[in-house]
Chain A
């Protein structure tokens, strides 16, 4: 019986010394708090740009970059938040008519580098995903201008069409 009492006392002392104290109502308390930030990449656009209409010849024809005077639109914006180094790619969802080109230029956030006007299709009109902007630092920026340019040579003829541009935020590496 005495031996049992001694064993119980030792066990009690052990429990008081080594068990977590969270459940106890003494004058201190401790908690372990885990935290984590996951990768965030969000991009949104303000809407669709206005119609891109070519209606005149390039004044420097035939020595200009294109035969016709390109149409431009800078009426839309994008917002970006990313907490890691990222790049933004642009991609057309459909091919363009041969002899026409869609270009896009994204204004850069304070911590980014814009690649300027980049073509989203090749000379045959085939869609061509392209990097538009790179940044090695996290950023959160709003109302950054998106500029579209629509160019064509005379052999494209007269054209009417629609397409969709997909902007994607990807890991820089």
Chain B
């Protein structure tokens, strides 16, 4: 009986001290940040139009650098230099014969651009070794064609993907 009484008093004191701690009160908070890896573009580029050529040569490339991309990642950088990221690119359908769609992505400060890359349905590295976020980075497209391509029109969807660079 005495033990029960003492136990009850101790429990009571504990509850009292938690709920009514005089002029102070305590709250325990737990927090977390999940991995964030996002990439997005400013919009679609205008139509790439090939319309000029020098006699005897293939038509001149159509070029556009009016769009940008932003990459946001909280992995890598000084937090974890062992976790760099890369960006790959692909198109949803092969280009017409005798034409090429080439892309060049400007790299973030801590990243490496692979330069001009001809896009295909298989993903290819465009930027590697990304260790920091970046925004407003230029996307440059070149549309190339030989005379054999003839006249045509069409469109392709380009997919950029942010991945671990392992």
Contacts and interface: CB of A to CB of B under 8 A. Distances in A.
Contact of A68 (B26, B74, B77, B80): B74
A67 B33 contact: no
- Size category of the A interface is 35 or more
Interface stretch (A10-18, A27-35, A131-139, A149-157): A149-157
Interface stretch (A1-9, A107-115, A158-166): A158-166
A168 B27 CA distance: 12
A57 B25 CA distance: 33
B10 interface: no
Contacts of B104: none
Most interface-central of B24, B25, B31 (chain A CB within 10 A) = B31
A151 to B, nearest CB: 10
Interface string B57-75: 0000000000000101111
Contacts of B135: 61-62
A100 interface: yes
Contacts of B24: 43, 166-169
B25 A55 contact: no
Given A41-B23, A57-B72, A169-B24, A161 B79 contact: no
Contacts of B22: 41-42
B31 A51 contact: yes
A130 interface: no
Most interface-central of A146, A157, A160, A169 (chain B CB within 10 A) = A157
Contacts of B31: 51-54, 71, 100, 102, 150, 159-163
Contact of B28 (A42, A162, A167): A162
A155 B23 contact: no
A163 B30 CA distance: 6
B133 to A, nearest CB: 5
A67 B71 CA distance: 12
A156 B22 CA distance: 36
Contacts of A164: 26-29
Interface stretch (B34-42, B91-99, B116-124, B143-151): B34-42
B72 A43 contact: no
Given A42-B23, A43-B23, A160-B31, 10 more contacts: A42-B22, A45-B25, A47-B27, A54-B32, A54-B34, A54-B36, A55-B36, A102-B29, A154-B133, A160-B32
20 contacts: A43-B23, A43-B24, A44-B19, A44-B21, A45-B25, A47-B27, A52-B29, A53-B31, A53-B32, A54-B36, A68-B33, A100-B31, A154-B72, A154-B74, A157-B75, A157-B77, A161-B31, A163-B29, A165-B27, A168-B23
